[in-house]
Structure 1
């Protein structure tokens, strides 16, 4: 499932290409046809993201909400638009570009009240200007749950997925099963600042890179990572391989229905 940086990258792209202009909105597949008719021909005011949710705002009570889920994808290109291929849930056509959406978990038009309710259910998003770090710390510092569980809880922090979870904990030497209430405030502040920086880098590069310069392939002579997710990481999907810092074999276990990864030496219990 795409993590928060992907949705913010899409929001910025869509805002740049479509905001301020009337947009044609259709549903070649037909499943979104009734809602598409509500916004078709309207001026897109802005595109924004909160966690793993994307919003196209056409008016106070006309907001297209998209959650990509595991299989949702956007395809973007300059005009002229090609004929729809496959099950296109939503097509946007602006003055210079067109965009197709396929396979999302959610694609719907919401009212302002419904959007507000959705925002209220989500935790602060490290990539949003309105992110309330104190609200996150309050939840984390009072919880007996493992920090690896809390980081994946979208009601605690919106936008963090399996990759950022594993990499953030490794970069700060925190064992995944450490209870939230056991974290030191200074350590948490460092983790939050690091998370913001890593996710902003993800928006800029379009992939997740978490390895510090001194541990990159060009600095150590190791082979670059070969993985469909791209990016250089310390532990994510590296189970059984040596830690890039200490050489210990990276471990994995299922946590919150997802494979978690950590180094038992760099992240002692």
Structure 2
């Protein structure tokens, strides 16, 4: 399931290439024909992510709400930017424009306290992209290509014509003169009015990229410390904190040396605040790099290797039966609310 950093990156792609443009909406699959007709021909006026949910605003105060769920993905095509994060952050394009298709997001030493974003190594130079996951850190010269944005971002086959024919069961296609976005496999896709959007957002926990840092931290800490529920489940509760999924849950708990079975009530105030600050750091880093990078203090070679291979990127996630990078104890995997939970029984005792 796409986690918070992926949805923020997708929203920024829309902000850069669709907001301010008149949009033609259709439903090649047919399941969203009525909703597409409501917004077709309108101008997109805003694009924002809240945790794992995305909201696209159109004229007449209509919003398209999308939750990618387990299998959803956005495919972009046309005059697009391979990495829109820098453009959204400071008004400059993060990479050269690509006349192509962007296809949807997936996606040692003891952990250290969250470092400032500037402490992360620079993106690798051209030719050092992660081949295993088609990392997009240095695209090079403009070319016609395909790119999917969901949990991971993957380059595909070159694009010969524009707009491309829809591939698979496309729930909704949004098209401007220069770009196309195709949505496939979402859990939710609906047109809402402002009051309905507010009702959805009101049920969500704070998002570090949207909420005031102090207010968001206080809301999170208060919610955690009044629950008897294990912290390993609390972090996945989108009503407590927005955007955390299976990967970030496991990694945040390991970095904090916190047993996932610890009731929220027993998590100290200081530790709860440290979890929030670490989530803020990892989320910003994920949006900036396009990867769920959760290991700190990597040298240039280790950082490049981590970008190329998920197995070199995490402390415990997806490492069941493998030795802990810190103590050597085998990493444990168990099911928690039908989701796989990874942790070190020694470091997180």
Answer whether contact 1:68 1:105 (CA < 8 A) is retained: yes
Between the aligned partners of 1:73 and 1:130, the Cα distance in structure 2 is: 29
Give the equivalent residue in structure 2 for 1:58: 58
Between the aligned partners of 2:307 and 2:171, the Cα distance in structure 1 is: 34
- Within a 5 Å distance, the mapping from 1:164-243 to structure 2 comes to 164-214=248-298, 218=301, 232-243=313-324
Give the equivalent residue in structure 1 for 2:158: none
Between the aligned partners of 2:246 and 2:269, the Cα distance in structure 1 is: 23
Between the aligned partners of 1:208 and 1:231, the Cα distance in structure 2 is: 11
Count of residue pairs the alignment pairs up: 264
Between the aligned partners of 2:60 and 2:200, the Cα distance in structure 1 is: 14
Answer whether contact 2:306 2:312 (CA < 8 A) is retained: no
Answer whether contact 1:208 1:232 (CA < 8 A) is retained: yes
Give the equivalent residue in structure 2 for 1:84: 166
Offset of 1:96 from its aligned partner? 2.1
Give the equivalent residue in structure 2 for 1:101: 183
Give the equivalent residue in structure 2 for 1:45: 45
Stretches of 4+ moved more than 3 A in 1? 216-220, 223-227
Answer whether contact 1:28 1:89 (CA < 8 A) is retained: yes
Structure 2 residue runs of 5 or longer lacking an equivalent are 80-161
Deviations 1:221-245, CA, capped at 9 Å, x for gaps: xx86986x67700000100001111
Between the aligned partners of 2:74 and 2:20, the Cα distance in structure 1 is: 21
Answer whether contact 2:7 2:51 (CA < 8 A) is retained: yes
Report the secondary structure of 2:22's partner residue. Answer: coil
Report the secondary structure of 1:252's partner residue. Answer: strand
Pairing partner for 1:246 from 306, 322, 327: 327
Structure 1 residue runs of 5 or longer lacking an equivalent are none
Offset of 1:145 from its aligned partner? 1.1
Between the aligned partners of 2:45 and 2:33, the Cα distance in structure 1 is: 21
Answer whether contact 1:29 1:88 (CA < 8 A) is retained: yes
Answer whether contact 2:224 2:272 (CA < 8 A) is retained: no
Offset of 1:95 from its aligned partner? 3.1
Deviations 1:118-161, CA, capped at 9 Å, x for gaps: 01111111222346221111111111111111101111111110
Answer whether contact 2:43 2:58 (CA < 8 A) is retained: yes
Report the secondary structure of 1:23's partner residue. Answer: strand
Report the secondary structure of 2:283's partner residue. Answer: helix
Give the equivalent residue in structure 2 for 1:112: 194
- Within a 5 Å distance, the mapping from 1:10-25 to structure 2 comes to 10-25=10-25
Is 1:158 aligned to 2:269, yes or no?
A: no
TM-score (norm 2): 0.72
Higher mean displacement: 229-238 or 46-55: 229-238
TM-score (norm 1): 0.92
Give the equivalent residue in structure 1 for 2:219: 135
Answer whether contact 1:71 1:104 (CA < 8 A) is retained: yes
Report the secondary structure of 2:34's partner residue. Answer: helix
Cα RMSD (Å) of the superposition? 2.0
Offset of 1:25 from its aligned partner? 1.1
Q: Which has the higher contact order (CA 8 A, sep 6+)?
A: 2
Higher mean displacement: 131-140 or 203-212: 131-140
Q: In structure 2, do the counterparts of structure 1 residues 224 and 83 end up closer, same or farther at CA, with 3 Å as the change threshold?
A: closer
